[in-house]
Amino acid sequence: ISWELACERLDRAAAMMNDTEPVSVEGPIHIGIDLGTADVVLMAVDGEGEPVAVFLEWTEVVRDGVVVDFVGACDVVRKFVAMAEERLGIEITEASTSFPPGTDARLSTNILETAGLEVTHVEDEPSCVASLLELDKAAVVDIGGGTTGTAIVKDGEIVFSDDEPTGGKHITLTIAGHYDVELEKAEEYKRKAEEYKILSIAKPTLERVSDIVAAHMKGYEVDSILLSGGTCCLPGIETIFEKELKLPVHLPSQPLMLTPLSIASLA
């Protein structure tokens, strides 16, 4: 789908986040479940690919490619499935999921299966995004909580992917140091980026991230960068990457929703 349509769907998804109010839906519904290090998201899309239900909870179930709370993860998935069934008035028996490149897909599929779902599609995260947006000669840069992953896409296929342990958590640590506050408070300040001048505090970390991305892209033909992941919610983040990497940078309207939308659209 086009970039514009994707952004419209992301905005609609964000607007209905955690809304349990019943809606009427028609045709086949596809469910995507994104199990991140910082959050779990369930997104349901209708036959047209339009989001119809979105549930997000901040919870750490996976860290560094390892499930740290298997039971907790299954519980969240079960809870979200029940909420989606209630909202949509349907029975949900299957879902798609994804995993960070380089990690074991079974981490995610085991959780879904234990939660009672049949896994219909499983694809690494940037490949999901690449297939939704039909990308070519692009680098998908996913800046999450713990890591930054780069996936280079040629003709919709991933030709390179790697990740490094630098992400949003490092920015939170810097904020905590700067304002001399606990991590929880620092995380709060990060969400009020303009008020606490977070972009300038985060700049050295983001320049390091952009060095990582530049190293990943070396030797590959890349015409544009696509940002994804929760850390890209920081207003103005794209300006740092444009300046450092000297390439057009696309920032989706709702970075946290891009991977879940892509997973749900995998059918």
Applying CB under 6 A, the residues found at the interface with ligand ATP are 36-39, 100, 142, 144-147, 167-169, 187, 190-191, 229-231, 233-234, 256
Minimum CB separation from ligand ATP for residue 142, in Å? 6
Cβ neighbors of 4 (< 8 A, separation 6 or more) are none
Closer residue to ligand ATP in complex, CB, 9/169: 169
Cα 232 from Cα 238, distance rounded (Å):
8
Closer residue to ligand ATP in complex, CB, 36/51: 36
The residue sitting closest to ligand ATP, measured at its beta carbon, is: 144
Closer residue to ligand ATP in complex, CB, 115/263: 263
* N-term to C-term CA, the chain: 14
Minimum CB separation from ligand ATP for residue 74, in Å? 17
Alpha-helical segments (H) within the chain: 3-15, 70-88, 106-114, 125-133, 168-179, 183-191, 198-217, 237-245, 255-264
Closer residue to ligand ATP in complex, CB, 104/223: 104
How is residue 177 written in tokens?
A: 């140091």
Minimum CB separation from ligand ATP for residue 62, in Å? 7
Minimum CB separation from ligand ATP for residue 24, in Å? 30
Exposed / middle / buried, residue 28 (Cβ in 10 Å: 0-12, 13-18, 19+): exposed
Q: How many alpha carbons lie under 13 Å from residue 45 in its C-beta half-sphere?
A: 23
Minimum CB separation from ligand ATP for residue 94, in Å? 23
Closer residue to ligand ATP in complex, CB, 59/137: 59
